[in-house]
């Protein structure tokens, strides 16, 4: 008989893992709390470093999961550990007996309004990275040409006061990508990136940075924005320190994009509470081993994939999803061949 | 006017709204590589003149971006054009000619 | 024939050896007379201009040099070798050399022999001039007919010589035409794009001698001729009979000559006339002071636009850089196109190869440097700190009295291996030395000079000079050729021997203070521009390297070596273009598959190392590694 | 500006302020420079609103100025504070209201320190017993006097005779609110509305009919900064800070400034004179300055107190233009008469500040 695997979360990690588990011959049940599959990927317009369409990428992932039992708008209501399996009661009333569970609950974007000094939700021109992606996707960029646009890196990341000392890994590349995109739309605007360190670690990321500097003339200012205020004509006055010249700096902008970082998702946390899963100081789930078995939790048969164990890029997430499928396959084979 | 023994001191704050972007665009048109600086500091670290006087291409570029022209020229006036900075620049910026162009565009 | 001449209004004298004198004037000479008058006036004005723009000091220097026997002799030799025989081209490309000398020397001989003929056979005309007559038979064969029965042996020799040199010239012209079609056959990959005046002058030049052959052949039965003109004359008669109207060819010949002279000042062929002046000025030791006037103007007009510098230029490994070649620089200078002048002036690597191979010897890198001076010399700077350093160091630094003073220079500090190796050789040879810029030094000034900031360079030179002179050293040792050149040329250090480390090591080996160990490793030596072409040091490093291993020859070496691309000479060359040049430099060095490349310049060392497939060693490094224990 | 966004943040920073029964502690600076403000506070709360606000002559300074000027150690200042709290307990109160922001900040800091380090609290309790034989206590509720006026703002509005409205145009007055740094910047949760968009003064202005000005340097310090002013060599920093604030608020053409800190009204007021005399620049209309008020003074004006009873004649920047705008009657002849009706002397006119 086919073994049941419950995958919680229909983002890239959940989709890629489900596709692979299905291919390995398991009966996969994928549940997603939103109306549609895809997680944050579905809300994005283009992806760094090459600017490929998020929609196409998502469609490629979705093509692979045809035949998997998907329940959207569904959450786990109760999750119990049985002797050799897990018993899950879903919000749609279905009860599932799963031989293994994969948690792919991903991340929530940091709530930018928590950084009160940036005035998100208070000043018109202050938006988040997600808002900008939506504007690109829906083609709803402000028609009035802005003269100056700023990007604030590390909003809610590397910030103990915001509750997240860790780096969110994707914001630097996203900010540089978005800065280039915005400059393409408004070539006459001055575009500034306020960064602390530029973490352009991936393949082609540095090229993106160089392109942003040389081709788009984007100005990188090393220093975190300290505060934002509105000017008499409704523009944004931004203060920061240019730490490279050790001088305070101010500039008036028309749009300020906050690169909201990654926080553990609320829905993931609620699953974690039911099983008393441990988290690390950053709030993300702790793996059995951070080097050797990131996909394993401390509970046998309960696995992780993607950003529920910390900020990850899309390729990282997909790799983890594939390796989680292999780990689960190995677990099931070992567990059920003992008899 | 009364002398109180103290007075309002001038602000050291950089105001990007007021800095001369035209000259910098002219410089960037002539020396597009000026935009490539990633502030690593290799130029100043290897600089022959910096051993004796504050000299730094990196800081000069930054000062120009921040509209502090005097400071930028001050940081380059002791340069002897020896070319070490050009040799060590990881981004391949022709710093030597950049220095001359800065002095020509902003000088006097 | 006689009837025909009478019809043309000619007058025939029936007696004497030279028994036929046509009327001493004919309208067809007008184009030629106009042309030659124009060019002579032009030359005179040009000469006055050039002399006027020289500084007074230079003018006197030039005048004096003409009367110094040694210089005068050298002038003659240079004019003969360079202007007529073109020995420099012969050495590089024999076929091209032959072409040039055929046209230049051949034509010269035709003119000289022509005048001799006049003097010998038509003394009346010479007397005529002294008596106030305006006529002089330049077109000898037209105006002076020799009765065939009275032809003497002397006359026959002249006829033969004239025909011989005409053939000589024609062979050159033939080659020139062939070269236009297929330049590569004569050893040139790229030639210059000719201007309109160039084309006019060129086609005239091509036409002059065939037309002369035709014209002289038509009249060969009347004026006499030799092995070339006479058979052609017979041939014409065989084909066209006796009813020949030779006037059109003489007209055409004269028109071509006239046009050629008219186009000459605006064309590359001006060099034929201006080169001697350049030789005189160069031998007098004049220097370029302004990029467009005086000596430079003489150089500009002496450029033959031959385009040899195009192939020589290391930048031209990329086609897009062809436009920066010296020949175009000179052309734009001539046309006063300032934007292009500055662009090209800044781009040049100043490797000096174009000057080294220039058949006329135009030192265009120097003109570029002076051109840079016009823009950059006035850029402000503040070197007041140098005075303080000099003061501090003068009082605190240990004296190097009677010792070797080693100045590594800015660039060597980026290649500590060179410094370490030089020091170890000095120690091994027991040479006492002081390290002048161990912690910090003042730049030698050469980079500033190259950038045209000559005044600023003087400041750093002054500061360094004070330090060196105060040290009391006997020898100044340098590891950077860039420094070497400026120390030699601009410092004026009296009583101090200035040596590059290749020279010192060669000396130490010869004195037996260092004993290199002969090994079997095959190597090739890269001549750094400033060391080789800049200071003429080619053999010292080779002497030592031959004693260490199997020193191979590179296809292009010594004064033809290819710059590594990273020269400080270029102000605007981009990194990726420099890297392409480095590649071509390495390709040249790798032609003989050496096991290692050796060079003697910190800049070349870095550049070549970045592209070389085999290990790259500095000269001092490889010597230090191969010493007898 | 999205007002809803601010309201959301204000909702996050609700502070529990008891309605009545307070032990009141005065401010060293205020009772020297704005004595009428504290008097007005007590008059409004006790007599107009009928609240139980207890004051005693036995309390001392909190030690804040000395502490922030690095002249007394922390344990000393904590013991002084413990004595104030003990007095509160002794007189039977558990709600503590202070007139001074420096004190308020220091009380918050001290209470937090005691919470984090109970052994230190014990030591201070011992010190207090040894020195004064008083029993250690901590207030149940600690509020600033402006918190109380904020709490009573609607009651005051109900009794108001004037509004923060330009009588001639009917437009609301444009009001700059300035919060003392130590009110909520150290402990955002201790202030009404938090630190970024404090609501304590905004609430009063809204209730009394004015319009808030949100200018870029609203968060900036008034320039007092303790050592920046107390050491004369540093006063350039102090006045430069103030200058920066005025330069920033100038384009918004404010009619008045309202503050809740002892130092702020003093420096915002007096430095306008110094700026005028050194830079030749004034920020109000027609060569006037921008008048600066304490919240009690504004409450008093709204409730119809005589301006000279509120001590407005002691301000550097003349208040008459604002009184005219609000339509408040005043007798210019009485400006420099004391409580006893005698002439108290008139200060010399500045050179360029009207």
D264-283 pLDDT tens trace: 999 999 999 999 999 999 99
Position B70 in a domain = yes
Q: Determine the pLDDT at residue A8.
A: 97
Q: Is the dihedral of CA C3, C6, C10, C16 positive or negative?
A: positive
D274 with B4: Cβ contact below 8 A: yes
SS3 state of residue A238: strand
Alpha carbon distances (Å) from D52 to A327, D19, D55, D92, D93 = 71, 10, 10, 12, 10
D232 with B9: Cβ contact below 8 A: no
SS3 state of residue A150: strand
Give the whole-angstrom CA distance, residue C276 versus residue C282: 10
The domain made up of A4-106+265-337 has a fold known as: FAD/NAD(P)-binding domain (3.50.50)
B/e letters for C112-121, b = 16+ CB within 10 Å, e = fewer, are ebbeebbeeb
- Selected residues 194-233 of chain A with any CB under 8 Å from a CB in chain B: 198, 209-210, 213-214, 217, 219-220, 222
Give the closest residue to C532 by CA, choosing from C508, C509, C556.
C556
Point out the residue among D2, D217, D251 whose CB comes nearest to the CB of A122: D2
Chain C residues in contact with B108 (beta carbon < 8 A):
380
SS3 state of residue D337: strand
Alpha carbon distances (Å) from A330 to A13, C82, C136 = 19, 88, 113
pLDDT tens per residue, range C384-401: 999 888 777 765 555 778
The shortest C-alpha distance from A218 to chain B (Å) reads: 8
Q: Determine the pLDDT at residue D156.
A: 96
User: Which of C380, C391, C578 has the highest number of chain B CBs within 10 A, making it the mutation to test binding with B?
Assistant: C380
What does the block give as tokens for D321? Answer: 């233009």
Strands C404-407 and C433-435: parallel
Task: State which H helix or E strand residue D155 sits in.
Answer: helix D153-158
Strands A148-155 and A190-195: parallel
B83 with C376: Cβ contact below 8 A: no
Chain B residues in contact with D243 (beta carbon < 8 A):
8
* pTM for the full predicted model: 0.88
Rounded mean pLDDT, D18-31:
94
Please name the chains neighbouring C, where neighbouring means 3+ C-beta pairs under 8 angstroms. B
Chain A residues in contact with D4 (beta carbon < 8 A):
121
Rounded mean pLDDT, D144-155:
96
Rounded mean pLDDT, B26-37:
95
pLDDT tens per residue, range A97-119: 999 999 999 999 999 999 999 99
Residue of D nearest to A117 (CA): D196
C447 with B53: Cβ contact below 8 A: no
The shortest C-alpha distance from A49 to chain D (Å) reads: 34
pLDDT tens per residue, range C225-263: 888 888 888 888 787 766 556 788 889 999 999 999 999
Rounded mean pLDDT, D120-137:
95
What does the block give as tokens for D244? Answer: 């920066």
In DSSP terms, B14 is beta-bridged to: A249
Chain C residues in contact with B105 (beta carbon < 8 A):
none
The shortest C-alpha distance from D334 to chain A (Å) reads: 39
Residues in chain D: 354
SS3 state of residue A53: strand
pLDDT tens per residue, range C165-194: 999 999 999 998 888 877 766 666 677 778
Mean of pLDDT over chain C: 87
| B20 Cβ under 8 Å from any chain C Cβ | no
- How many CB pairs (< 8 A) connect A and B? 54
Chain D residues in contact with B9 (beta carbon < 8 A):
236-237, 240
The answer, yes or no, to whether residue C89 has pLDDT greater than 90, is no
The shortest C-alpha distance from D139 to chain A (Å) reads: 28
Residue D343, phi then psi, degrees to nearest 5: -65, 125
Interface of D with A (CB under 8 A): 1-2, 4-6, 8-9, 194-197, 214-219, 251-252
| D274 Cβ under 8 Å from any chain B Cβ | yes
Position B14 in a domain = no
Give the whole-angstrom CA distance, residue C54 versus residue C67: 19
In chain D, where are the structural domains located? 18-145, 154-334
B4 with D235: Cβ contact below 8 A: yes
Give chain A's count of helices (H) and strands (E).
Answer: 7, 20
Chain D residues in contact with B5 (beta carbon < 8 A):
232, 235
What does the block give as tokens for C433? Answer: 């030395």
B104 with C379: Cβ contact below 8 A: yes
| B18 Cβ under 8 Å from any chain C Cβ | no
User: Which of D220, D234, D239, D245 has the highest number of chain B CBs within 10 A, making it the mutation to test binding with B?
Assistant: D239
Strands (E), C158-270: none
Give the whole-angstrom CA distance, residue C467 versus residue C407: 11
What does the block give as tokens for D107? Answer: 């009380």
Give the whole-angstrom CA distance, residue C450 versus residue C370: 9
A242 with B66: Cβ contact below 8 A: yes
Point out the residue among C389, C414, C574 whose CB comes nearest to the CB of B94: C574
Mean of pLDDT over chain A: 94
CATH fit for domain A110-261, picks 3.90.1300.10, 3.40.250.10, 3.50.50.60, 3.30.230.10: 3.50.50.60
Ranking A57-61, A177-181, C274-278, D150-154 by mean pLDDT, the lowest is: C274-278
pLDDT tens per residue, range D174-232: 999 999 999 999 999 999 999 999 999 999 999 999 999 999 999 999 999 888 888 88
Ranking C92-101, C124-133, C553-562, D221-230 by mean pLDDT, the lowest is: C124-133
Rounded mean pLDDT, C59-64:
92
Q: Determine the pLDDT at residue C244.
A: 59
User: Which of B1, B2, B8 has the highest number of chain D CBs within 10 A, making it the mutation to test binding with D?
Assistant: B8
Torsion of CA D256, D262, D266, D268, to 10 degrees: -50
A–D touching, 3+ CB–CB pairs within 8 Å: yes
Task: Tell the burial category of A144 from Cβ atoms under 10 Å away from its Cβ (0-12, 13-18, 19+).
Answer: exposed
The shortest C-alpha distance from A34 to chain B (Å) reads: 42
Q: What percent of chain C has pLDDT over 70?
A: 90
Chain D residues in contact with B4 (beta carbon < 8 A):
235, 274, 277-278
Q: Determine the pLDDT at residue C127.
A: 56
Could you tell me the pLDDT band of residue C14, with boundaries at 50, 70 and 90? very low
B4 with D233: Cβ contact below 8 A: no
Ranking A216-225, C155-164, C372-381, D238-247 by mean pLDDT, the lowest is: C155-164
Domains and CATH numbers, chain C: 2-271 (no CATH), 287-376 (no CATH), 384-507 (3.40.50), 516-625 (3.40.50)
What does the block give as tokens for C541? Answer: 């490093």
Q: Determine the pLDDT at residue C93.
A: 82
pLDDT tens per residue, range C327-381: 999 989 988 988 899 999 999 999 999 999 888 889 999 999 999 999 999 999 9
A227 with D219: Cβ contact below 8 A: yes
Position B15 in a domain = no
ipTM tops the 0.85 cut: yes
- Please give the CATH number for the structural domain made up of D154-334: 3.40.50.11810
Q: Which residues contact A247 (CB under 8 A, 6 or more apart)?
A: A241, B12, B13, B14, B66
SS3 state of residue C187: coil
pLDDT tens per residue, range D224-235: 988 888 888 899
pLDDT tens per residue, range C457-478: 999 999 999 989 888 899 999 9
Q: Determine the pLDDT at residue C247.
A: 82
Rounded mean pLDDT, B82-100:
95
pLDDT tens per residue, range D298-332: 999 999 999 999 999 999 999 999 999 999 999 99
In chain A, where are the structural domains located? 4-106+265-337, 110-261
- Selected residues 235-254 of chain A with any CB under 8 Å from a CB in chain B: 242, 244-245, 247-252
Point out the residue among B1, B2, B6 whose CB comes nearest to the CB of D236: B6
Let me know: does C139 contact C111? Beta carbons within 8 Å.
no
Give the whole-angstrom CA distance, residue D317 versus residue D133: 47
Could you tell me the pLDDT band of residue A230, with boundaries at 50, 70 and 90? very high
Q: Which residue has the higher pLDDT, C130 or C6?
A: C130
User: Which of D236, D241, D348 has the highest number of chain B CBs within 10 A, making it the mutation to test binding with B?
Assistant: D236
Give the closest residue to C51 by CA, choosing from C302, C297, C362.
C297
User: Which of B12, B14, B22 has the highest number of chain A CBs within 10 A, making it the mutation to test binding with A?
Assistant: B14
Strands (E), chain A: 4-8, 27-31, 46-47, 52-53, 69-71, 76-81, 86-90, 95-98, 100-103, 107-109, 126-128, 148-155, 190-195, 219-222, 225-230, 236-242, 247-253, 255-260, 262-264, 302-304
Position B11 in a domain = no
The shortest C-alpha distance from A3 to chain D (Å) reads: 48
CA C547 remoteness from chain centre: 34
In DSSP terms, C597 is beta-bridged to: C524, C616
Q: Determine the pLDDT at residue C132.
A: 54
Task: State which H helix or E strand residue D95 sits in.
Answer: strand D95-98
3-state class percentages of chain C: helix first, strand second, coil last, to nearest 5: 65, 5, 30
The shortest C-alpha distance from B4 to chain D (Å) reads: 8
Let me know: does C282 contact C361? Beta carbons within 8 Å.
yes
Strands A262-264 and C433-435: unpaired
B8 with D275: Cβ contact below 8 A: yes
Give the closest residue to D141 by CA, choosing from D180, D100, D111, D184.
D111
Domains A4-106+265-337 and A110-261 share a fold: yes
A242 with B14: Cβ contact below 8 A: yes
Q: Angle C335-C340-C345 (CA atoms, 0-180°, nearest 5)?
A: 105
B96 with C376: Cβ contact below 8 A: no
User: For chain B, what is the domain count?
Assistant: 1
A232 with D251: Cβ contact below 8 A: yes
Q: Determine the pLDDT at residue C628.
A: 84
| A237 Cβ under 8 Å from any chain D Cβ | yes
Q: Determine the pLDDT at residue C13.
A: 43
- Selected residues 104-163 of chain A with any CB under 8 Å from a CB in chain D: 113, 116-117, 119-124
Give the whole-angstrom CA distance, residue A80 versus residue A88: 6
Q: Which residue has the higher pLDDT, C7 or D147?
A: D147
Position B65 in a domain = yes
Q: Determine the pLDDT at residue C15.
A: 44
The CATH architecture to which D18-145 belongs is Up-down Bundle (1.20)
Chain B residues in contact with A245 (beta carbon < 8 A):
14, 59, 62-63, 66, 68
């Amino acid at each position: 008989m086919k073994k049941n695997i419950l995958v919680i979360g229909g983002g890239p990690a959940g989709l890629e893992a489900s596709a692979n588990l299905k291919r390995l011959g398991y009966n996969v049940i994928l549940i997603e709390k939103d109306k549609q599959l895809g997680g944050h990927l579905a809300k994005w317009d283009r992806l760094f470093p090459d600017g490929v369409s998020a929609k196409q990428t998502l469609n490629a992932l979705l093509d692979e999961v045809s035949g998997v039992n998907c329940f959207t708008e569904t959450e786990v209501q109760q999750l119990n550990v049985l002797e050799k399996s897990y018993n899950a009661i879903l919000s749609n009333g279905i009860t599932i007996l799963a031989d293994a569970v994969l948690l792919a609950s991903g991340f929530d974007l940091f709530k930018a309004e928590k950084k009160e000094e940036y005035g998100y939700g208070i000043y018109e021109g202050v938006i988040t990275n997600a808002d900008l992606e939506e504007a690109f996707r829906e083609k709803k960029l402000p028609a009035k040409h802005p003269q100056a646009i700023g990007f604030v890196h590390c909003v809610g990341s590397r910030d103990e006061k915001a509750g997240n000392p860790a780096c969110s890994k994707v914001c630097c590349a996203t900010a540089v990508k978005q800065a280039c995109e915005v400059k393409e739309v408004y070539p006459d605007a001055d575009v500034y990136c306020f960064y602390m360190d530029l973490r352009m670690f991936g393949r082609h990321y540095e090229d993106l940075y160089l392109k942003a500097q040389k081709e788009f003339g984007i100005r990188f200012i090393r220093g975190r924005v300290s505060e934002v205020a509105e000017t008499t004509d409704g523009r944004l006055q931004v203060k920061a320190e240019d730490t490279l010249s050790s001088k305070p700096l101010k500039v008036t902008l028309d749009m300020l994009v906050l690169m909201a970082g990654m926080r553990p998702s609320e829905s993931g946390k609620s699953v974690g509470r039911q099983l008393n899963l441990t988290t690390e100081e950053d709030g993300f789930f702790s793996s059995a081993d951070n080097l050797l078995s990131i996909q394993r939790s401390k509970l046998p048969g309960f696995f992780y994939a993607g950003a529920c164990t910390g900020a990850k890029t899309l390729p990282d997430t997909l790799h983890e999803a594939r390796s989680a499928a292999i780990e689960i396959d190995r677990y099931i084979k070992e567990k059920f061949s003992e008899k | 006017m009364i002398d109180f023994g103290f007075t309002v001191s001038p602000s050291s704050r950089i105001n990007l709204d007021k800095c001369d972007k035209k000259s910098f665009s002219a410089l960037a048109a002539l020396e597009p590589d000026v935009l490539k600086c990633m502030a690593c500091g290799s130029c100043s670290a290897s600089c022959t003149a910096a051993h004796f006087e504050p000299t730094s291409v990196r800081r000069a570029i930054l000062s120009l971006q921040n509209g502090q022209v005097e400071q930028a020229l001050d940081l380059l006036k002791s340069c002897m054009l020896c070319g070490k900075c050009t040799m060590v620049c990881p981004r391949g910026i022709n710093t030597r000619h950049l220095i001359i162009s800065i002095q020509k565009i902003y000088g006097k | 024939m006689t009837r025909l001449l009478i019809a043309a209004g000619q007058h025939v004298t029936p007696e004497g050896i030279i028994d036929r004198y046509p009327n001493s004037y004919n309208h067809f000479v007008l184009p030629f007379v106009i042309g030659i008058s124009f060019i002579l006036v032009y030359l005179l004005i040009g000469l006055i201009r050039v002399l006027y723009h020289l500084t007074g000091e230079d003018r006197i220097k030039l005048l004096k040099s003409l009367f110094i026997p040694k210089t005068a002799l050298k002038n003659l030799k240079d004019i003969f070798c360079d202007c007529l025989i073109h020995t420099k081209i012969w050495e590089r490309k024999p076929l091209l050399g032959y072409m040039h000398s055929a046209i230049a020397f051949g034509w010269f001989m035709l003119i000289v022999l022509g005048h001799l003929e006049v003097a010998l056979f038509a003394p009346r005309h010479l007397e005529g001039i002294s008596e106030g007559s305006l006529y002089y038979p330049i077109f000898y064969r037209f105006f002076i007919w020799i009765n065939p029965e009275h032809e003497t042996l002397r006359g026959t020799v002249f006829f033969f010589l004239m025909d011989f040199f005409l053939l000589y010239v024609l062979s050159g012209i033939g080659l020139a035409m062939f070269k236009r079609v297929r330049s590569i056959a004569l050893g040139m990959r790229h030639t210059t794009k000719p201007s309109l005046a160039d084309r006019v002058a060129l086609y005239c030049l091509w036409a002059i001698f065939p037309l002369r052959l035709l014209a002289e052949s038509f009249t060969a039965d009347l004026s006499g001729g030799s092995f070339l003109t006479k058979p052609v004359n017979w041939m014409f008669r065989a084909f066209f009979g006796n009813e020949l109207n030779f006037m059109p060819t003489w007209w055409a010949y004269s028109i071509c000559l006239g046009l050629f002279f008219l186009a000459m000042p605006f064309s590359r062929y001006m060099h034929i006339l201006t080169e001697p002046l350049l030789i005189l000025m160069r031998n007098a030791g004049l220097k370029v002071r302004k990029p467009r006037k005086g000596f430079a103007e003489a150089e500009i007009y002496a450029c033959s636009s031959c385009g040899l510098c195009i192939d020589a230029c290391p930048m031209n490994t990329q086609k897009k850089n062809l436009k920066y070649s010296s020949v175009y620089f000179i052309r734009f200078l001539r046309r006063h196109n300032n934007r292009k002048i500055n662009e090209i002036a800044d781009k040049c690597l100043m490797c000096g190869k174009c000057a080294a191979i220039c058949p006329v010897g135009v030192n265009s890198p120097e003109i570029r440097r002076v051109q840079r001076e016009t823009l950059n010399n006035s850029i402000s700077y503040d070197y007041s700190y140098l005075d303080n350093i000099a003061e501090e160091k003068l009082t605190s630094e240990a004296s190097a009295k009677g010792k070797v003073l080693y100045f590594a220079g800015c660039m060597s500090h980026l290649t500590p291996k060179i410094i370490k190796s030089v020091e170890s050789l000095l120690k091994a040879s027991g040479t006492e030395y002081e390290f002048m810029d161990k912690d910090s030094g003042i730049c030698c000034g050469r980079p500033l000079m190259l950038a045209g900031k000559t005044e600023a360079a003087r400041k750093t030179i002054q500061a360094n000079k004070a330090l060196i002179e105060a040290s009391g050293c006997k020898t100044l040792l340098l590891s950077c050729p860039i420094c070497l050149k400026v120390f030699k040329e601009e410092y004026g250090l009296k009583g101090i021997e200035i040596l590059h480390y290749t020279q010192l090591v060669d000396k130490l080996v010869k004195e037996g203070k260092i004993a290199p160990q002969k090994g079997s490793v095959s190597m090739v030596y890269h001549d750094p521009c400033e060391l080789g072409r800049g200071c003429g040091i080619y053999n010292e490093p080779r002497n030592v390297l031959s004693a260490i291993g199997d020193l191979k020859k590179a296809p292009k070496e010594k004064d033809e070596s290819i710059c590594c691309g990273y020269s400080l000479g270029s102000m605007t060359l981009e990194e990726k273009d420099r890297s392409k040049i480095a590649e071509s430099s390495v390709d040249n060095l790798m032609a003989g598959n050496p096991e290692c490349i050796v060079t003697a310049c910190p800049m070349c060392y870095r550049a070549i190392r970045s592209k070389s497939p085999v290990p790259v060693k500095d000269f001092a490094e490889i010597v230090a590694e191969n010493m007898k224990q | 500006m999205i007002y809803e966004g601010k309201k959301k943040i204000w909702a996050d920073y609700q502070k529990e302020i008891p309605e009545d029964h307070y032990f009141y502690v005065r401010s060293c600076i205020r009772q020297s420079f704005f004595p009428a403000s504290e008097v007005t506070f007590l008059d409004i709360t006790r007599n107009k609103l009928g609240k139980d606000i207890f004051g005693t002559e036995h309390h001392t300074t909190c030690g804040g100025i000395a502490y922030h000027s690095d002249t007394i150690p922390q344990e000393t200042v904590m013991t002084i504070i413990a004595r104030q709290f003990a007095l509160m307990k002794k007189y039977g109160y558990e709600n503590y209201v202070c007139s001074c922001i420096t004190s308020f900040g220091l009380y918050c800091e001290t209470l937090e320190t005691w919470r984090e380090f109970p052994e230190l609290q014990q030591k201070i309790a011992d010190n207090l017993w040894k020195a004064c034989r008083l029993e250690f206590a901590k207030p149940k509720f600690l509020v600033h006097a402006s918190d109380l006026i904020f709490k009573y703002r609607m009651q005051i509005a109900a009794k108001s005779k004037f509004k923060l409205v330009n009588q001639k145009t009917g437009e609301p007055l444009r009001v700059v609110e300035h919060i003392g740094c130590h009110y909520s910047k150290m402990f955002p949760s201790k202030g009404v509305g938090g630190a970024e968009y404090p609501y304590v003064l905004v609430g009063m202005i809204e209730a009394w009919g004015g319009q808030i000005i949100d200018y870029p340097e609203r968060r900036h310090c008034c320039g007092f900064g303790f050592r920046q002013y107390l050491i004369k060599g540093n006063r350039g920093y102090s006045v430069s800070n103030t200058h920066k604030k005025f330069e920033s608020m100038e384009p918004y053409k404010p009619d008045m400034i309202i503050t809740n800190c002892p130092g702020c009204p003093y420096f915002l007021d007096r430095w306008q004179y110094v700026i005028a005399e050194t830079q030749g620049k004034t920020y109000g209309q027609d060569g006037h300055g921008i008048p600066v008020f304490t919240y009690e003074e504004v409450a008093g004006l709204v409730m119809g107190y005589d301006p000279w009873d509120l001590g407005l004649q002691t301000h550097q920047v003349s208040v008459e233009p604002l009184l005219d705008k609000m339509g408040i009657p005043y007798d210019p002849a009485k400006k420099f008469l004391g409580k006893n009706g005698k002439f108290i002397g008139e200060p010399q006119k500045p050179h360029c500040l009207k």
